[in-house]
Amino acid sequence: MKVVRFARYGGPEVLELVDGDAPHARAGQIRIAVRAAGVNGLEWKIRQGLLRDVRPLRLPAGIGGDAAGIVDEVGDGVTDVRVGDTVFGSGQETYAEHAVLTSWAQKPPEVSFEEAAGFATPFETALRVLDDSGVRGGHTVLVNGASGGVGSAAVQFAVDRGATVIGIAGPSNQDYIASLGAVATTFGPYLVDRVRALAPNGIDAALDIAGSDIIAELIELTGDPARVVSIADFSAPELGARVSTGFGRDKTHALREGARLAAAGRLTLPVAQTFPLAQAGAAQAASATGHVRGRIIVTVP
């Protein structure tokens, strides 16, 4: 099969489309014929070698965590899907013609493979930070980085719970954030004043998705570091705020919950741009700009 691999850490050019053996599903796993793979910010950081101390790789290595496709192998003990089902989920080395998934959900028929390919990480991350922050109906939630993959999902999950959401993103995404059901505002100077004007009764929980050096302002707005969580600023604990990571967490519940809302038309994740598998490096470069509305997707012919 065709698979994207890299033999050394570096820029987008180190990603190569090569021939490799298809992986097999072990117990509790499934294999899919990949139709599309979602591109996460974490992946260009892995390729660049920025995580080599915490996540050492044996090179050459494949890359990619999210995908959608058609089940073509089912591991021992898996009873909720069959060969031929269409699914999306999360696994390993998903920029490939076949990939093993460790968490999955049925793809709603209303959603394309391209859109569903981007779901897994945004759904799991967004639900995790909302649950860990105790967000519920009646709360006012501030989401920094509301227009990207995780941010778009967080806004819509929170709105669905009945929370009032204020979303922070760039000027070109204000209308987009409003279309997701949030009150939109821009990042930059006087942010605290702008948010206070939009939420005179205060902020119950602040989610830093963008990791844009904003923790002090979020603490000022919530009045309590315990109400602030970041997924991308690892210096947040220095100010008393939390960092949330998904290592070792089971994603199945989040994927099913997201699929349920997507099927009902209450949760969408726009496909910002698609790239063929052979241009995975360009796809990661587009993701690395940090200004993606929704998700960048790699498609498999």
Ligand X SMILES: NC(=O)c1ccc[n+]([C@@H]2O[C@H](COP(=O)([O-])OP(=O)(O)OC[C@H]3O[C@@H](n4cnc5c(N)ncnc54)[C@H](OP(=O)(O)O)[C@@H]3O)[C@@H](O)[C@H]2O)c1
Residues that bind ligand X (CB under 6 A): 40-42, 121, 125, 144-145, 147-151, 168-170, 173, 187, 209-212, 231-232, 244-246, 287, 290-292
Minimum Å distance from CB 248 to ligand X? 11
Would the CA dihedral through 184, 190, 194, 196 be positive or negative?
positive
Minimum Å distance from CB 107 to ligand X? 20
Q: Closer CB to ligand X, residue 30 or residue 231?
A: 231
Minimum Å distance from CB 170 to ligand X? 3
Minimum Å distance from CB 128 to ligand X? 7
Q: Which of 15, 95, 9 is nearest to 48 (CA)?
A: 9
End-to-end Cα spacing for the chain: 12
Q: Closer CB to ligand X, residue 112 or residue 212?
A: 212
**Nearest position to ligand X, beta carbon:** 148
Q: Closer CB to ligand X, residue 46 or residue 81?
A: 46
Q: Closer CB to ligand X, residue 71 or residue 262?
A: 262
Q: Rounded CA gap, 119 and 39, in Å?
A: 10
Minimum Å distance from CB 273 to ligand X? 12
Q: Rounded CA gap, 81 and 88, in Å?
A: 12
Element (H, E) at 80: none
Q: Rounded CA gap, 271 and 268, in Å?
A: 9
Q: Closer CB to ligand X, residue 169 or residue 203?
A: 169
Q: Closer CB to ligand X, residue 25 or residue 218?
A: 218
Q: Rounded CA gap, 13 and 278, in Å?
A: 11
DSSP letters for 126-188: HHHHHHHTT--TT-EEEEETTTSHHHHHHHHHHHHTT-EEEEEE-GGGHHHHHHTTPEEEE-S
Minimum Å distance from CB 150 to ligand X? 3
